Amino acid sequence: MLLGHCGQLAENGIFALFYRRGQHKTGHGIAVGKQRFNQCFQVSHARSRHFQQEIVATGEVMAFAHFFKRVHVLKQSIVVLSCATHADKSQYSEPERFAIDLYGVSAQNADFFHLLETFGCGGRRKADAASKLGEAQPGIHLKLVQKLSTVVVHQCRGIHCHSDRSYVIRAQTRERRFHSACTEKPARSTISLMQTVILNGQSLTLAEIEAVSRAGCPVALDPAALARVEQSRTSIEKILTEGQTVYGVNTGFGKLSDVRIPSERLAELQINLVRSHAGGVGEPLSEAESRAMVLLRANVLAKGFSGVRPQLLELLISLLNAGVHPVIPEKGSVGASGDLAPLAHLALVVVGEGEALHRGERVSGGEALRRAGLAPLSLSAKEGLALLNGTQAMTAVGALATSRAMRVVRLSDLSGAMSLEALKGTPAAFDPRIHLARPHAGQVASAAHLLRLLEGSEIRESHREHDTRVQDAYCLRCMPQVHGAVRDVLEHVGGILEIEAGSATDNPLIFPEEDGERGGAGTVISGGNFHGAPLAYALDYAASAVTDLGCITERRIDRLLNPDINEGLPAFLSTDPGVSSGFMIAQIVAAALINECQVLSHPSSTGSIPTDGGKEDHVSMGMTGAIKLRQIVEHSERILAIELMCAAQALEFRRPLKSSAQIERAHEAVRSVVTRLEQDRVLAPDINALAQAISSGAIDAWCD
């Protein structure tokens, strides 16, 4: 039923759910009116996000359905989220009945948090995407719907629609599933479940980018995209045949754009452009980041606005599937005109030059192609520029870093809950009524998550009565407010990255659809889509948020170790304080990492420096922002690892009392990576091992 209805919704280009009044059988509930909501709003070219709804239902409050937008649109985008609680569904329309079935909400389970997974049409859009699923009821105002109640919205599952005119609906887990509670059995990694990723020039999700980049999922080209690329190339050929002068096709570049290049030297122009711009320096990007760059550049070319030959696009896809990864220095891009230097190093491998990794061995680009059974390509008009102009380096690094940051913030709830238990804190501050009074989606989700993690704790019950403390410190009490805000920041940044993953960012752009009107070479327009400002601002935003997440984590670490404030735990969690220093150095390391994050979180997007003789007089510095964010996320993984180590040790000092079942399983997961600190030992390998487990997703499996 799910796939069938999602197919219908995807075919209409709509992501819509419906709100329906629900009344608790005891008489409590929210007076939301008696109108039946069977209204969905038109969505034009919408790329819907993938959500998870956590609906808080108690004996006094039956149903919450706060409207929350997370779709990105060119025109109007409205998503109506709903819950329905009537057992008798016969009176509802088909879409409403589907919503009820999907959510599975009933009056019988109104006394606990419901974790609901919904669906989305992930980035696969149709030109005619705007259709209604029912007749709109007159007099229903959107703001009224918004005020009815609150639903917590976060990423979970999605339906990704791959188009070859008939939509193939493929249900898959989006990224790592939201970490709501620990399970007895480890869940499989999201990216290991993904199938072939189809490129058609539309937005890729962070999950798809990570799947191809880190898990090596294969890639294929949508036939419809191939047709668009061929049409776009035909426009370039017409320009050359008619002798027109068009920037990037038969002119110089940048400051030299006024120089006309004769037709017999156009191939020389393109290869010279690639070679001259391959001036990147510094350490090479990781293989995952290199793969992400190739993937994103191929997807952008598949939009059909770049004027390249199909052979070029097919070669990029072949590089991915054959495991040929260009060696790309990470420094040298100012983020406009795009990531010129990094993309030039990518382009070198396309023409059989430069360097590449093949099966882990670093060889020349030509040798890597030979080993993979591929032939280098001689660039034709416009193709060198089409490879270089774009934001794919900052998007690749930023997308992978953001995916890792999302993992860190979700696991921070877990580590924070473990610390709260070890410090005999109270979950009172996570009461849903507090957070529904300030209904930021991430905040309410984090509070709900923490409550679930702590449910059934013996430690909590041991100090429920006769505890003279009134409130916990902010680092414990304000976890939902801080962790939740970071979730919302990363959700916003992830949306920007996903839009960019399906955006034409080179220059000029070719619009061949004009051919039919004029019978000529279409319209070629020079613009500035290569400017990385949207990404640069977002990456700086994420860097600040993740840095502060590390700050609050470090404060919990100190509270676990400091004998003056750790509620009777041994000093520095040492089994023999004085003779042994325990985790003393671990907090110092965390402080050092935080200080570096604080420096790195200074914005790079405000540091524009004119380049190219003043022609490119304002640049984004987005690649700098992406590299900074990656480093901050790496540090945050290490800080989180330190808290998990310390919290696991602290919980053991509370024995024989045990925490909740979820936290006890998480404790076992930590112990599967690092052992208890019985006496002083070198802590660096432990920190690194646990940080690697966090980064790779190994810990995710225990907290799904």
Is pLDDT at 241 greater than 50 in this prediction? Answer: yes
Judging by beta carbons within 10 Å of its beta carbon (0-12, 13-18, 19+), is residue 599 exposed, middle or buried? exposed
Confidence of residue 561 (pLDDT cuts 50, 70, 90): very high
Backbone angles phi, psi at 667, to 5 degrees: -60, -45
Using alpha carbons, list the distances in angstroms from residue 387 to 165, 271, 322, 338: 28, 11, 20, 10
Confidence of residue 555 (pLDDT cuts 50, 70, 90): very high
Pairing between β-strand 219-221 and β-strand 197-199 as defined by DSSP bridges: parallel
The residue that leads in pLDDT, 300 or 159, is: 300
Indicate the range of 333-337, 467-471, 490-494 predicted with least confidence.
467-471
Indicate the range of 263-272, 541-550, 574-583 predicted with least confidence.
263-272
Using alpha carbons, list the distances in angstroms from residue 416 to 100, 209, 696, 699: 34, 29, 20, 15
State residue 153's pLDDT score. Answer: 26
Per-residue pLDDT of 624-653, as tens digits, reads 999 999 999 999 999 999 999 999 999 999
Per-residue pLDDT of 70-103, as tens digits, reads 222 222 222 222 333 333 444 444 434 433 343 3
For residue 329, the SS3 value is strand
State residue 242's pLDDT score. Answer: 85
State residue 510's pLDDT score. Answer: 92
Tokens, residue 599: 């420096």
d(CA 692, CA 409): 16
Neighbours of 428 (CB within 10 A): 10
State residue 195's pLDDT score. Answer: 83
State residue 203's pLDDT score. Answer: 85
State residue 232's pLDDT score. Answer: 92
Domain-wise residue ranges, the chain: 1-174
State residue 580's pLDDT score. Answer: 94
Neighbours of 103 (CB within 10 A): 21
Query: Looking at residues 540-566, what average pLDDT do you find?
Result: 98
Per-residue pLDDT of 438-453, as tens digits, reads 999 999 999 999 999 9
Integer distance in angstroms from the first to the last C-alpha of the chain?
25
Query: Looking at residues 10-37, what average pLDDT do you find?
Result: 29
Q: How far is CA 548 from the centre of its chain?
A: 19
List the Cα angle 73/79/85 in 5-degree steps.
170
Is pLDDT at 557 greater than 80 in this prediction? Answer: yes
The residue that leads in pLDDT, 354 or 135, is: 354
Query: Looking at residues 391-401, what average pLDDT do you find?
Result: 98
Per-residue pLDDT of 447-480, as tens digits, reads 999 999 999 999 998 888 888 888 999 999 999 9
Per-residue pLDDT of 67-78, as tens digits, reads 222 222 222 222
d(CA 470, CA 204): 48
Per-residue pLDDT of 413-439, as tens digits, reads 999 999 999 999 999 999 999 999 999
Indicate the range of 165-174, 320-329, 522-531 predicted with least confidence.
165-174
Backbone angles phi, psi at 347, to 5 degrees: -65, -30
Is pLDDT at 666 greater than 80 in this prediction? Answer: yes
Is pLDDT at 695 greater than 80 in this prediction? Answer: yes
Is pLDDT at 554 greater than 50 in this prediction? Answer: yes
The closest of 301, 70, 325, 344 to 205, measured between CA atoms, is: 70
List the Cα angle 52/54/56 in 5-degree steps.
165
Per-residue pLDDT of 586-607, as tens digits, reads 999 999 999 999 999 999 999 9
Side chain identity at residue 2, one-letter code: L
State residue 187's pLDDT score. Answer: 33
Side chain identity at residue 599, one-letter code: V
Confidence of residue 574 (pLDDT cuts 50, 70, 90): very high
Q: How far is CA 133 from the centre of its chain?
A: 30
Is pLDDT at 676 greater than 70 in this prediction? Answer: yes
Alpha-helix runs per DSSP H in 136-264:
142-147, 190-193, 206-214, 223-242
Confidence of residue 520 (pLDDT cuts 50, 70, 90): low
Q: Which positions are catalytic?
A: 247
For CA atoms 220, 225, 231, 233, give the dihedral sign.
negative
Per-residue pLDDT of 197-221, as tens digits, reads 999 998 899 999 999 999 999 999 9
Please report, rounded to a whole number, the percentage of residues in the chain having pLDDT higher than 70: 70
State residue 483's pLDDT score. Answer: 97
State residue 464's pLDDT score. Answer: 87
Residue 221's H or E segment, with its range, is: strand 219-221
What's the predicted TM-score (pTM) here?
Answer: 0.75
State residue 194's pLDDT score. Answer: 54
Q: What is the mean pLDDT of the chain?
A: 76
- 3-class SS string, 254-274: HHHCCCECCHHHHHHHHHHHH
Indicate the range of 43-47, 201-205, 392-396, 655-659 predicted with least confidence.
43-47
Burial code (b: 16+ CB inside 10 Å, e: under 16) for 64-99 equals bbbbbebbbeeeebbbbbbbbbbeeeeebbebbbbb
The residue that leads in pLDDT, 167 or 474, is: 474
Is pLDDT at 324 greater than 80 in this prediction? Answer: yes
The closest of 97, 651, 600 to 418, measured between CA atoms, is: 651
Using alpha carbons, list the distances in angstroms from residue 658 to 417, 465, 568, 688: 13, 17, 17, 27
- Total length of the chain: 704
d(CA 297, CA 27): 57
Confidence of residue 159 (pLDDT cuts 50, 70, 90): very low
State residue 701's pLDDT score. Answer: 60
List the Cα angle 202/535/249 in 5-degree steps.
65
State residue 494's pLDDT score. Answer: 96
